[in-house]
Amino acid sequence: MSKYEALTGDQAVATAMRQINPDVVAAYPITPQTETVEFFAEYVANGEVTTDFICVESEHSAMSACVGASAAGARVMTATSSQGLALMWEVVYIAASYRCPIVMSLVNRALSGPINIHCDHSDVMGVRDSGWIILFSENNQEAYDNVIQAVRIAEHPDVLLPVMVCQDGFITSHAMERVEVYDDADVKAFVGTYRPKQSLLDVDNPMTYGALHFYDYYYESKRQQAEAMERARRVVLEVADEFNRKFQRNYGLFEAYRLDDAEVAVVVANSTAGTAKVVVDNLRAQGLKVGLLKPRVFRPFPAKELAGALSHLKALAVMDRSIAFGYLDNAGPLFVDLAAALALNGIHIPMADYIFGLGGRDIKPSEIESVYRDLLRVAETGKVERLVTYLSVRE
Amino acid sequence: MAQLKGWREIPIGGVIVEAGNAVEYKTGGWRAFRPVFGQAQCIHCFQCWLFCPDSSILVDAENEKMVGFDLDHCKGCGICASVCPVNAKVIRQAGEKVNRDDPRLCIRMVEEGKAE
């Protein structure tokens, strides 16, 4: 039987980790991910899990230890934020290229500088091309559910890629919410036992990880990695279907909220999607045909499906919590990806980008409403006045 | 050179599944300096064999003799010459600068392409 608990986002992730009981966790604490590591260390100390918990001296070591443990055939998890992810960056790429099915909770926090500890998405956007599967979570429940699904996605024999589960620093990581925690046995049954096809500890079949690949084989290795990412498109949905059936949820590639008959819509990831839903409801009550699309699977990017879901709109806005500096008037990465996805699928809708919430700047319903008001005007005129708007920045 | 495999044929994750295949990788071409064995001076102490990072010291195990170098794999790092106690003795007794290709040395390093 599942039960409802009041958990912070960090605690929800730690709870999922306790239920998954990975073989190895190597992590270094960093705000706002710290609680996850603290709670998990407590589970280890209490004997509630049998995990080997490795206290490392930096995030570079954390990811390195994860790669080593994964190559040895262990089920491995970790968690980090912002500078921690930046420090482990080179090993993040290695984890993907060695095809280590590591699951990492990334609690999104602005990258320095200036130094900051609050939420934005500059950290995850720095590793969007690293070869990791990337999932977004609106709230604590989704963070919990995504971590459980991530294990299955990562370890699927057709995939074998690491998975990063994102949630917003402080906004969800430190906010207590009602979370439905499933029965330990049900989660255990869902994630199953990890049976690696190969292991460094298999002394009867000795093998080498991390060998040099020159111009003769590096390229083939990368081509193979691209294929795994393509296969992940199907596996993410298969795992979601099974999860939905077992736990009565509704996960897919993205969530379409009052989108079917909408004339204008906003695309926004993570916690702000929750705020935007309230705005959509308010505007709908006024008879305005507005909707929302909340991406869940960011890598692999579901370009075709997104284009299909948005094709009927008269105007579209993306809200980006980071900047792709120097690209298209300094638009955000989500906008850039989506603009390409729509264009390549022959969908031409007037669209604009709204940068918001950098370094944890609060985003208010009234500001999201202003985006919808802009869109309704664009829908009438068919003209986008400004490609990129900085919401709630002081002039 | 063996036929190169396509991306569908190689093991995933860049793993090498055949054990002990480093021997197939000929690294001798990396050398700038080649070790040359002065058989007459050798005291067969096996210091070079012990220290060689590429297992390139050839020995006659039965008779406990150092016999030469595996030049297919030796990268010419010169560690064998550095750790050789006979070399040390020659340098000490010479009382002058001893070049690395000095014929008095037990293991001397000769520039690749030059005659011994």
Supply the ipTM of this predicted assembly: 0.88
Check whether residue A235 and residue A273 sit in a common domain. Answer: no
Determine the structural domain holding residue A380 and report its residue range: 254-390
> Is there a domain that residue A118 lies in?
yes
Q: How far apart are CA A370 and CA A391, in angstroms?
A: 9
Q: Tell me, what CATH number does A158's domain have?
A: 3.40.50.970
Q: Tell me, what CATH number does A288's domain have?
A: 3.40.50.920
Check whether residue A259 and residue A243 sit in a common domain. Answer: no
B106: exposed, middle or buried (Cβ count in 10 Å: 0-12, 13-18, 19+)? buried
Give the pLDDT band of residue A108 (cuts 50, 70, 90). Answer: very high
Does the beta carbon of B10 lie under 8 angstroms from any beta carbon of chain A? yes
Does the beta carbon of B61 lie under 8 angstroms from any beta carbon of chain A? no
List the alpha helices (DSSP H) in chain A.
9-20, 34-45, 59-71, 82-87, 89-97, 122-125, 140-155, 184-191, 218-247, 272-285, 303-310, 333-344, 365-381
> Is there a domain that residue A194 lies in?
yes
* Cross-chain CB nearest to A220 (options B10, B15, B17): B10
Å from B107 to nearest chain A CA? 31
Give the pLDDT band of residue B1 (cuts 50, 70, 90). Answer: low
CATH dotted code for B12-111: 3.30.70
The last residue of a domain, from among A213, A247, A281: A247
List CB contacts (< 8 A) between A217 and chain B.
Answer: 4, 10, 14
* Mean pLDDT on A171-188: 98
Q: How far apart are CA A232 and CA A80, in angstroms?
A: 23
Check whether residue A175 and residue A120 sit in a common domain. Answer: yes
Give the pLDDT band of residue B21 (cuts 50, 70, 90). Answer: confident
Q: How far apart are CA A358 and CA A324, in angstroms?
A: 13
> Is there a domain that residue A395 lies in?
no
Check whether residue A182 and residue A303 sit in a common domain. Answer: no
A191: exposed, middle or buried (Cβ count in 10 Å: 0-12, 13-18, 19+)? buried
Give the pLDDT band of residue A363 (cuts 50, 70, 90). Answer: very high
In this complex, do B14 and A97 lie within 8 Å of one another by their Cβ atoms? yes
pLDDT of res. A353: 98
* Cα–Cα separations (whole angstroms), residue B73 to A296, B26, B67: 52, 5, 16
Check whether residue A237 and residue A338 sit in a common domain. Answer: no
* Cross-chain CB nearest to B17 (options A160, A207, A228): A207
CB A261 within 8 A of CB A287: no
The last residue of a domain, from among A200, A227, A247: A247
In this complex, do B14 and A100 lie within 8 Å of one another by their Cβ atoms? no
In this complex, do B12 and A160 lie within 8 Å of one another by their Cβ atoms? yes
Å from B17 to nearest chain A CA? 5
> Which tokens go with A134?
């990337």
Does the beta carbon of B1 lie under 8 angstroms from any beta carbon of chain A? no
* Mean pLDDT on B60-77: 97
In this complex, do A206 and B11 lie within 8 Å of one another by their Cβ atoms? no
> Is there a domain that residue A56 lies in?
yes
Give the pLDDT band of residue A213 (cuts 50, 70, 90). Answer: very high
Does position B116 have pLDDT exceeding 80, yes or no? no
> Is there a domain that residue A317 lies in?
yes
Give the pLDDT band of residue A374 (cuts 50, 70, 90). Answer: very high
> Is there a domain that residue A360 lies in?
yes
Domains held by chain A: number: 2
In percent, the amount of chain B with pLDDT more than 70 equals 98
For chain B, list the strands marked E by DSSP.
33-37, 57-60, 65-69, 107-111
The last residue of a domain, from among A192, A217, A247: A247
Does the beta carbon of B13 lie under 8 angstroms from any beta carbon of chain A? yes
Check whether residue A243 and residue A265 sit in a common domain. Answer: no
Interface of B with A in 20-39 (CB under 8 A): 20
In this complex, do A224 and B7 lie within 8 Å of one another by their Cβ atoms? yes
Q: Which residue of B has its CA nearest to A70?
A: B13
Check whether residue A164 and residue A20 sit in a common domain. Answer: yes
Of residues B24 and B65, more confidence is placed in B65
Check whether residue A269 and residue A304 sit in a common domain. Answer: yes
Q: How far apart are CA A361 and CA A118, in angstroms?
A: 8
CA atoms within 13 A on the CB side of A309: 23
In this complex, do B16 and A207 lie within 8 Å of one another by their Cβ atoms? yes
